[in-house]
Amino acid sequence: MAFDEKLADRVRRALAGQRGLVEKKMFGGVAFMLRGNMCCGVLRDDLVVRVGPEAHATELKRPHSRVMDFTHKPMKGYLYVAPEGIATAASLRSRLRPAIRFVATLPQK
């Protein structure tokens, strides 16, 4: 399964400077880990964000968001964001902020 390399490059640039940033190819896409915890990723042409259970409902209400159901079961705390929701650098950063905030609360792995 291919993933959008241009989107992955945009995410890399947006996350540059984050402490403990590691990139891993996973599930046919790419995941970006912060301090050992998955923060976000790219699957096909969608951004995947890990916003956590508390922000899930709020972030799901944003345009172009949908529940992540990679395993055909909804994954609470993870969302897909369609390309239309991350068309600009500012919109991409606004989608990454809740994920960065959530992952910062997790213990380092």
Bridge partners (DSSP) of residue 25 are 30
Q: What is the mean pLDDT of residues 80-92?
A: 98
**Alpha-carbon gap, residue 31 to 24, rounded angstroms:** 5
pTM of the predicted model as reported, rounded to 2 decimal places: 0.93
Considering the chain, what is the average pLDDT of its residues?
A: 95
Order of all β-strands in the sheet with 46-50: 21-26, 29-34, 37-43, 46-50, 78-81, 65-67
**Alpha-carbon gap, residue 64 to 47, rounded angstroms:** 11
Q: Are 7 and 45 in contact (CB under 8 A)?
A: yes
pLDDT at 1 over 80: no
Query: Both ends of the chain: CA-CA distance in Å?
Result: 28
Classify 19 as helix, strand or coil: coil
| pLDDT, greater one: 1 or 38 | 38
Q: What is the mean pLDDT of residues 21-30?
A: 92
Cβ contacts of residue 18 below 8 Å, gap of 6+?
34, 100
pLDDT at 35 over 70: yes
| Domains, the chain, with CATH or none | 5-103 (3.90.1150.30)
**Alpha-carbon gap, residue 81 to 7, rounded angstroms:** 12
